[in-house]
Amino acid sequence: MDDRVEHAVDDFAPLAKFHAPEIIFGDGALTEIGSAAARLGARRPLLVSDPGVAEAGWAEEALDHLRREGLEPVLWTGVSPNPKDAEIEHGFERYRESGADIIVGVGGGSVIDAAKGIAILAGNGGRILDYEGVDEVTHPIPPTIMAPSTAGTGADVSQFCVVSDPERRIKITILGRALVPDISITDPRLLTTMPTDLAAATGLDALSHGVEAYVSLAHNPLSDLHALNSVRLVDGNLLKSIESPTFAAPKAAMAQASLEAGMAFSNAILGATHAMSHQVGGLVDAPHGVVNAVLLSHVIRFNAMGSPERYRPLAEVFGISESRAPVEQMALALSSYIRSLADQVGVPRGLAELGITHSDIAQLTESTLHDACLTTNPRQADAADLKRLFVAAM
């Protein structure tokens, strides 16, 4: 055997699964939404969107493409940021009463999570909060098509669904192969109508996905490729996409970053940043990407004290490339760089600016311990560790 081949075989992971939908990517991709729905056997698709996306014209364009295929779509826009359990259940009632047969989501992560939640109830019944955890969705769900209007969440390709529970003031995570959409349609045109603050928040969300997926205990060679490239794309294009929102190239690059980061974390899962962020978002209804950006640098510093090795390739992507530097030093430099990037796009420096108080930390710590994302963090974190992280991030 060739020495190079033998070395590659030796280094390769023994087994890796990689879940991904059919992907349609590029300018004008939204025009394919009608034919995609028809291929899935649709006659009466439920189009899930939100008022902002509808006002921007994207929901109506999607409806036009669906109608051109002879379909009879039904529009539902009752989604708010960080979708609530009651909203999803109202959306399911709309699905059921209208006689819809597939679910199409056009919007940001909140829209796509809501669309997935509706699909879960359509195939499994009950209340959406009943499905918290891993592989609790046991019956098939209707076909799904997702078209993101933001560049960051990766929900259009992932096996995650995140739902807010206002009564307990937490977010729950639903995770399972059934939630990977059948078809993902990424059209960078949709990103041109994002407000600047949303572009910043979702871009940093993509960055946190790439970083956490790369260092996750569940990473594999396939997820690694997408994680590193997503980080590279964000570093090179986030600021450009905000400074020149109508310039096509940075928007396309950020759309690809979101897509690749989504595929990476869907398969490698995430870490403490997201486990903590879900709880903060549930408590104060803050933008998910902003909370991630506040927490990420602190979590990197924590992880670097116990498992810093995989942060070196990430640091090198950002141009932090001192080959003789201790790996811990590289990880700390990466943490500082990411915080600097967050500063440049106007992210708050602490949780207090988002409305969190020190009296909230006990509740946040307790709920974080139950988040599925914590299990794949590269360094084990107990309640005392999480409490210190929350205090440091204040």
Each residue's pLDDT tens digit, 118-171: 999 999 999 999 999 999 999 999 999 999 999 989 999 999 999 999 999 889
Q: d(Cα 224, Cα 219) in Å, to the nearest integer?
A: 7
Whether residue 1 has pLDDT greater than 60: no
| The one-letter amino acid at 349 | R
Confidence (pLDDT) at 13: 54
Closest CA to 213 of 154, 137, 278, 171: 154
Whether residue 247 has pLDDT greater than 90: no
Q: For residue range 214-234, what is the model confidence (pLDDT) as tens digits?
A: 999 999 999 999 999 999 999
Q: For residue range 72-107, what is the model confidence (pLDDT) as tens digits?
A: 999 999 999 899 999 999 999 999 999 999 999 999
Instruction: Tell me the CATH number for domain 22-191.
Output: 3.40.50.1970
Whether residue 27 has pLDDT greater than 50: yes
Token output for 140: 């098939």
Confidence (pLDDT) at 14: 62
Confidence (pLDDT) at 244: 84
Q: Looking up tokens 């995989």, which residue turns up?
A: 310
Mean pLDDT of 61-71: 98
Confidence (pLDDT) at 146: 98
Q: Three-state SS across the chain?
A: CCHHHHHHHHHCCCCCCCCCCEEEECCCHHHHHHHHHHHCCCCCCEEECCHHHHHHCHHHHHHHHHHHCCCCCEEECCCCCCCEHHHHHHHHHHHHHHCCCCEEEEECHHHHHHHHHHHHHHHHCCCHHHHCEECCCCCCCCCEEEEECCCCCCCCCCCEEEEEECCCCEEEEEECHHHCCCEEEECHHHHHHCCHHHHHHHHHHHHHHHHHHHHCCCCCHHHHHHHHHHHHHHHHHHHHHHHCCCCHHHHHHHHHHHHHHHHHHHHHCCCHHHHHHHHHHHHHCCCHHHHHHHHHHHHHHHHHCCCCCCHHHHHHHCCCCCCCCCHHHHHHHHHHHHHHHHHHCCCCCCHHHHCCCHHHHHHHHHHHCCCHHHHHCCCCCCHHHHHHHHHHCC
Q: For residue range 158-173, what is the model confidence (pLDDT) as tens digits?
A: 999 999 999 998 899 9
CA 259 centroid distance within chain? 9
**Do residues 149 and 108 touch, judged by C-beta distance below 8 A?**
yes
Closest CA to 216 of 150, 261, 162, 159: 261
Whether residue 211 has pLDDT greater than 90: yes
**Do residues 165 and 142 touch, judged by C-beta distance below 8 A?**
no
Rounded to two decimals, what is the model's pTM? 0.92
Confidence (pLDDT) at 228: 97
Confidence (pLDDT) at 307: 85
- For the chain, what are the domain ranges? 22-191, 196-392
Token output for 267: 């398969």
CATH topology of domain 196-392: Dehydroquinate synthase-like, alpha domain (1.20.1090)
Q: d(Cα 177, Cα 6) in Å, to the nearest integer?
A: 33
Q: d(Cα 346, Cα 206) in Å, to the nearest integer?
A: 16
Q: How does the average pLDDT of the chain come out, rounded?
A: 93
